[in-house]
């Protein structure tokens, strides 16, 4: 059976579910077997545009279907844990929306369950599959930037105020997964500040600093109440620096051959020791492939061929740990919170 098409079930057909269905359906090696949702209108809509797909309001139908090898969970956050756990217990591989669980403890339980059963548990950090982030990752890993000095991101817009999660869990989660992916070092502490401008709502604006053992620092600025949409990240290195502007239709990544040079001799006076370098800028062509298409290919490749997942359960857990620590720091006006982790969490993909 494993040589046949990859059978997928999708639970949740709201905002993101249709994208999952479309991309699994378009993948020549996969087939969407069934879609579950509690809302009859959504199911009808799904049925209309996907004639061959079974629709159901019973999640058990997916769990019990032997043609379904993997389940994609695209429901609201609070149900991620229960649905993903049930899928694993039914022997299905899982692709779950981020954040994979509302707490690090629950995330760890999912990881343990998947490990014990030898199943794939992947978190849908879609940004890691964008051509831009893949190119940045490639440049960093090749050493083109030298030592990474900082990652400084601004992700603000007039966004939808969420009622149950703060802007940290809604927007900063994207940067935290990118940081986890491209910076080859674990953060050791986090300081974050935030603010709520609507009484009774969670923080709609926050700033996070991640500390590392090296002098590298990461900072994320997120805001649901900005007059213009900004998606801009500066990445500084000892050799080169990147500006990544996701709002640009093309030339999203600009690589600057700029920086400082430090004269090794400590004898010399300070000002003489530091030199400034201004060279060319280069914007590598980045193809326009949809991130989710790549992600679906990768998920199937991981399950079928044992490829190393780019965002496995551990990476999803690391992001949640930072979110939890940042939320604690916000509650204490920036007081730093330690992030020292046991060694087992540090293993990561190197793709």
Query: Is 331 a residue that touches its own copies (CB under 8 A)?
Result: no
Backbone angles phi, psi at 263, to 5 degrees: -75, 130
Stretch of 68-76, 106-114, 266-274, 315-323 lying at the interface with its own copies (CB under 8 A): 266-274
The mark string for 36-65 relative to its own copies (x by CB under 8 A, - otherwise) is: ------------xx-x--------------
**For 268, phi and psi rounded to 5 degrees?**
-65, 155
Environment class of 82 (CB within 10 Å of its CB; exposed 0-12, middle 13-18, buried 19+): middle
> Among candidates 2, 30, 201, which has minimal Cα distance to 10?
30
Nearer to its own copies, 74 or 339 (CB): 339
What are the tokens at 308?
Answer: 């190393």
- Footprint (CB under 8 A) of its own copies, residues 197-216: 197-198, 200-201, 205, 207, 209, 211, 215-216
Instruction: Tell me which of 217, 345, 349, 351 binds its own copies, using CB under 8 A.
Output: 217
Residue 270: CA count within 13 A, CB half-sphere = 0
Is the CB of 67 or the CB of 146 nearer to its own copies? 146
Longest dimension (CA), the chain: 76
- Minimum Å gap between C-beta 189 and its own copies is 6
Q: Tell which one of 125, 219, 252, 318 touches its own copies (CB under 8 A).
A: 219
Stretch that binds its own copies, among 70-78, 96-104, 305-313, 331-339 (CB under 8 A): 331-339
Q: Which residues contact 324 (CB under 8 A, 6 or more apart)?
A: 103, 104
Restricting to residues 155-174, name those near its own copies by CB under 8 A: 156, 158, 161, 163
The footprint of its own copies on residues 243-262 (CB under 8 A) is: 243, 247, 249-251, 254, 256-260, 262
Segment 278 to 297, residues that bind its own copies, using CB under 8 A = 278-285
Of 196, 234, 236, the residue nearest 216 (C-alpha): 236
DSSP secondary structure code for residue 10 in this structure: E
Q: Is 229 in the site for its own copies (CB under 8 A)?
A: yes
**205 vs 108: CA distance, rounded Å:** 28
Min separation Cβ 349 and its own copies, Å: 27
């Amino acid at each position: 059976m494993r040589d046949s098409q990859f059978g997928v079930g999708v639970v949740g057909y709201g905002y993101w579910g249709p994208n999952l269905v479309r991309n699994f359906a378009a993948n020549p090696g996969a087939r969407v077997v069934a879609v579950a949702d509690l809302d009859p209108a959504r199911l009808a809509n799904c049925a209309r545009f996907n004639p061959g797909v079974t629709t159901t309001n019973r999640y058990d139908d997916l769990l019990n279907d032997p043609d379904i090898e993997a389940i994609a969970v695209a429901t609201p956050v609070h149900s991620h844990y229960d649905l993903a756990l049930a899928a694993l217990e039914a022997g299905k591989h899982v692709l779950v929306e981020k954040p994979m669980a509302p707490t690090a403890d629950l995330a760890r339980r999912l990881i343990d369950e998947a490990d014990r059963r030898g199943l794939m548990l992947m978190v849908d950090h879609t940004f890691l599959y964008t051509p831009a982030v893949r190119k940045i990752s490639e440049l960093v890993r090749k050493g083109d930037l030298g030592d990474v000095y900082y990652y400084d991101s601004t992700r603000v817009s007039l966004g939808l105020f969420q009622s149950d999660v703060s802007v940290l869990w809604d927007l900063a989660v994207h940067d935290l997964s990118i940081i986890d992916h491209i910076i080859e070092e674990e953060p050791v502490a986090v300081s974050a500040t935030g603010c709520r401008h609507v009484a009774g709502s969670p923080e709609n604006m926050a700033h996070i600093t991640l500390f590392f053992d090296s002098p590298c620092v990461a900072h994320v600025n997120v805001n649901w109440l900005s007059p213009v949409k900004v998606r801009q990240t500066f990445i500084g290195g000892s050799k080169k620096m990147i500006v990544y502007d996701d709002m640009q239709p093309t030339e999203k990544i600009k690589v600057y051959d700029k920086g400082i040079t430090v004269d090794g001799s400590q004898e010399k006076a300070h000002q003489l020791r530091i030199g400034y370098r201004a060279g060319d800028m280069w914007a590598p062509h980045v193809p326009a492939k949809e991130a989710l298409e790549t992600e679906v290919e990768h998920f199937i490749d991981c399950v079928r061929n044992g490829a190393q997942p780019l965002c496995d359960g551990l990476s999803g857990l690391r992001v949640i740990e930072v979110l939890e620590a940042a939320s604690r720091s916000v509650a204490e006006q920036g007081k730093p919170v330690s992030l020292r982790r046991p060694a087992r969490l540090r293993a990561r993909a190197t793709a």
